[in-house]
């Protein structure tokens, strides 16, 4: 996978470990020494503002580039910034490789030598406070005079204004920052350093963890709902059976002895309820020794069973 060019967001806002990996991969794919050297200059500015040393991996890359790469104007222009990362013997070899003589060295590195001391100056203000996050918001003009904002986080608030200003002005010498072919950061305008306390915060990733933890509970609740619905359905069936039984049971079984004629006469026609329609006299009690009441109760039980099966969605068994 190709690694895209690094812009201001990557060089000044990306985590240090990730940024280091991106620079190494970009160089591995592009082999563009001048581009990577300018990336490293931007990293030096950021590390100076944040009072943070660059990694040994990047230091090794610096020595490799200056000791083995083909000499170029970019290497000559920015060489003084990287002297501290080389051994004395290595630095002498680099000077001989890049410059014809001392006069050539002084002429090519005049600008960089003027900024070099600010890269190593320590903070002197002693205004840092605990639990504060410090940033620098700076503004530049591009080649067309348009303003651009650059934000650098986790800076050292103890850096004095002249030091911060000189460090930011180093960025105006770089060509890697551009938009649609127009160089940004051509002219430094101003900057503001501020500190703030983080009082409240919200992270959506914590919400995702909570939702995943609640999934088993939601599944349990769903099962309980299904169980409750089943119980409610059975309760409805029992209520229907009781109402049916009360509607068809005589009020006083001890004093009244129903006969086929009287049982038939008490039933009122009802087209909507087949069980309430008039029934013909059934002589079955003469053959089986059952009373009309017993026959009616048996029929009621069969009717309730059919209604129960209908509600539960059971299909009627086919006779073989």
Higher local confidence (pLDDT), 281 or 77:
77
Q: What is the pLDDT of residue 261?
A: 45
Average pLDDT, stretch 194-201? 78
Cα-Cα-Cα-Cα dihedral sign, residues 218, 204, 20, 31: positive
Lowest-pLDDT range of 168-177, 185-194, 271-280, 309-318: 271-280
Q: What is the pLDDT of residue 149?
A: 96
Q: What is the pLDDT of residue 270?
A: 47
The answer on pLDDT for 199 being more than 60 is: yes
Q: What is the pLDDT of residue 161?
A: 95
The sheet carrying 187-197 orders its strands as 147-153, 132-141, 187-197
49: part of which helix (H) or strand (E)? helix 33-50
Q: What is the pLDDT of residue 196?
A: 84
This prediction has a pTM of 0.63
The answer on pLDDT for 318 being more than 80 is: no
The tens digit of pLDDT for each residue in 38-84 reads 999 999 999 999 999 999 999 999 999 999 999 999 999 999 999 99
The tens digit of pLDDT for each residue in 216-256 reads 555 555 555 555 555 555 555 556 556 555 554 444 444 44
In which residue are the tokens 């500190």 written?
195
45 CB-near residues (< 8 Å, 6+ apart): 119, 167, 168, 170, 171
Q: What is the pLDDT of residue 204?
A: 78
Average pLDDT, stretch 269-277? 47
The answer on pLDDT for 107 being more than 50 is: yes
Q: What is the pLDDT of residue 250?
A: 46
Lowest-pLDDT range of 94-98, 175-179, 204-208: 204-208
Q: What is the pLDDT of residue 64?
A: 96
Cα distances (angstroms) measured from residue 166 to each of 115, 121, 173: 7, 11, 12
The answer to whether 159 touches 125, Cβ cutoff 8 Å, is: yes
The answer to whether 50 touches 163, Cβ cutoff 8 Å, is: no
- What is the C-alpha R_g of the chain? 46
Q: What does pLDDT average to over the chain? A: 81
Q: What is the pLDDT of residue 254?
A: 44
Q: What is the pLDDT of residue 288?
A: 53
CA–CA dist 5, 174 (Å, integer)? 14
CA–CA dist 224, 217 (Å, integer)? 10
Q: How confident is the model at residue 312 (pLDDT cuts 50, 70, 90)?
A: confident
Helices assigned H by DSSP within the chain: 8-13, 16-30, 33-50, 56-68, 73-78, 88-98, 102-108, 110-116, 161-170, 204-248, 260-266, 284-288, 292-312
The tens digit of pLDDT for each residue in 145-193 reads 999 999 999 999 999 999 999 999 999 999 999 988 999 999 999 999 9
Closest CA to 77 of 112, 31, 42: 112
The answer on pLDDT for 286 being more than 80 is: no
């Amino acid at each position: 996978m190709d690694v895209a060019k690094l812009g201001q967001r990557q060089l000044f806002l990306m985590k240090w470990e990730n940024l280091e990996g991106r620079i190494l991969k970009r160089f591995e794919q592009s082999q563009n020494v001048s581009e990577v050297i300018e990336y490293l200059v931007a990293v030096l500015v950021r590390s100076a503002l944040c009072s943070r040393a660059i990694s040994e991996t990047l230091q090794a890359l610096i020595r490799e580039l200056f000791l083995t790469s083909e000499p170029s104007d970019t290497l000559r222009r920015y060489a003084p910034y990287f002297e501290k990362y080389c051994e004395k013997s290595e630095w002498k070899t680099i000077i001989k490789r890049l410059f014809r003589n001392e006069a050539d060295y002084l002429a090519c590195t005049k600008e960089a030598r003027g900024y070099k001391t600010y890269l190593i100056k320590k903070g002197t203000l002693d205004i840092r406070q605990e639990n504060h996050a410090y940033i620098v918001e700076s503004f530049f003009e591009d080649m067309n005079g348009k303003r651009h904002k650059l934000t650098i986080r986790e800076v050292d608030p103890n850096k004095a204004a002249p030091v911060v200003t000189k460090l930011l002005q180093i960025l105006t010498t770089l060509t890697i920052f551009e938009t649609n072919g127009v160089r940004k950061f051509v002219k430094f305008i101003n900057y503001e350093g501020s500190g703030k306390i983080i009082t409240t915060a919200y992270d959506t990733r914590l919400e995702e963890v909570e939702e995943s933890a609640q999934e088993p509970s939601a599944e349990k609740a769903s099962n309980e709902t299904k169980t409750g619905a089943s119980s409610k359905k059975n309760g409805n069936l029992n209520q229907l059976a009781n109402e049916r039984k009360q509607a068809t049971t005589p009020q006083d079984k001890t004093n009244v002895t129903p006969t086929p004629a009287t049982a038939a006469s008490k039933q009122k026609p009802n087209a909507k309820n087949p069980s309430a329609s008039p029934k013909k006299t059934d002589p079955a009690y003469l053959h089986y020794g059952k009373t009309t009441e017993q026959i009616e109760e048996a029929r009621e039980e069969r009717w309730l069973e059919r209604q129960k099966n209908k509600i539960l969605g059971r299909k009627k068994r086919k006779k073989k």
